[in-house]
Amino acid sequence: MEKFTIIGSPKTPTINFDGDTGVLEFTGRSIPENSVEFFTPLLDWLELYEAQPKEKTVVDMKLEYFNTSSSKCILDFFKRLERINGALSEVQVNWYFEKDDEDMAEAGEDYEAIVSLPFKIIEVEEIY
Amino acid sequence: MAVTDVYDFYQKLEDEQVILSFKGDFTSELLTSFLHILEARMVELGTDNRKKRRVFNVLTESFQNLYHHIDEFNSGDSITKRSALIIVKHVDNNFVVRTGNYVKNNDIQNLKRKLAMVNSLDSDELKGLYRMKLENDPRTDKGTAGLGLIDIARKSKSKLDYDFIDIDASSSFFCLKVVIE
């Protein structure tokens, strides 16, 4: 399956989705004015991945910060993964936060509370 | 206006401890520049990472609130009403984000209700409201999440200070002040 890659910008994260390894990675900040426009191609790719997911799907969220407009899109992304979790693939979300960044840790807990996917909230020295 | 009046403006900004301000039309590129300048200033000021991220968060949400709401005034309205003001101050090691923009009187009731609601909640209740709206509310007709004010209150850890000034029959000026301690 073709890899999906977006190089980050000051307002959008770097995206590395690898359909061959099942690792989907977000790195950086996500604060575009129009988040739907940014996230639509990601969700389109995910639809292709859903047809042939790996046994394990690992999401690595390494976000520095994100705006509320992105928050809804991130939820859409997780909701999409809920559909394949279990029967088709074993999905694991790794939500990283930088030491002392309790806001980002709490943001991970927000999603963990809403989404039926296993979350690991992981403290790291530096996010990237 | 005398040419030397610029000194009064300068002194006023200095007295008020303003580190960044902009008045005009809010464009997408402007936020990038804003964050860039602010980042450099916060490095100079020795601001810790946690506060830095909170200031970025509050500034981004405040800025994008203005960005999304300015266009409620269409080209039929005066250019003045389609511009807004944002000011970032650094006072006693706190950051203060102040915004001013025109709003339609028809929208004020709803806005006041949201502001009063956010200010009535403690941090756990804000978290609960945020999660509930994130999970259940549809996007606004502008495609935004409708979570901006809640997020600003959550990240700033302080009550929002606000007021409205009557302008004319259809519009008012909305003043908002957020302190990040």
Closest to A73 (Cα-Cα) out of A45, A105, A39: A39
Options 1.10.3470, 1.20.140, 3.30.750, 1.10.10; CATH for A26-124 is 3.30.750
Q: Is B138 on the interface with A (CB under 8 A)?
A: no
pLDDT at B147 (0 to 100): 95
Across B52-57, average pLDDT: 95
Which chain A residues contact residue B134 at CB under 8 A? 71-72, 75, 110, 114
Would you list the domain boundaries of chain A?
26-124
CATH number at residue B157: 3.30.565.10
pLDDT at B74 (0 to 100): 66
> Order of strands across the sheet with B171-180?
B18-24, B84-91, B94-104, B171-180, B161-166
pLDDT at B145 (0 to 100): 81
Q: Is B92 on the interface with A (CB under 8 A)?
A: no
pLDDT in tens, B85-125: 999 999 999 999 999 999 999 999 999 999 999 999 999 99
pLDDT at B127 (0 to 100): 97
Distance CA A117, CA A119 (A): 6
The pLDDT of residue B73 is above 80: no
Query: For an interface test with B, which of A72, A79, A123 has the most B Cβ atoms less than 10 Å from its Cβ?
Result: A72
Distance CA B33, CA B31 (A): 5
pLDDT at A55 (0 to 100): 96
Number of compact structural domains in chain B = 1
Give residues with Cβ within 8 angstroms of B26, minimum separation 6.
Answer: B63, B66, B67, B70, B83, B84, B86
Q: What are phi and psi of A22, to 5 degrees?
A: 80, 15
Q: What range defines the domain where residue B57 resides? A: 5-180
The pLDDT of residue A38 is above 80: yes
pLDDT at B139 (0 to 100): 86
The pLDDT of residue A122 is above 90: yes
| % of chain A residues with pLDDT over 90 | 95
Cβ pair A31:B31 closer than 8 A: yes
Cβ pair A68:B61 closer than 8 A: yes
CA distance A77 to chain B (A): 13
* Contact predicate B101/A80, CB 8 Å: no
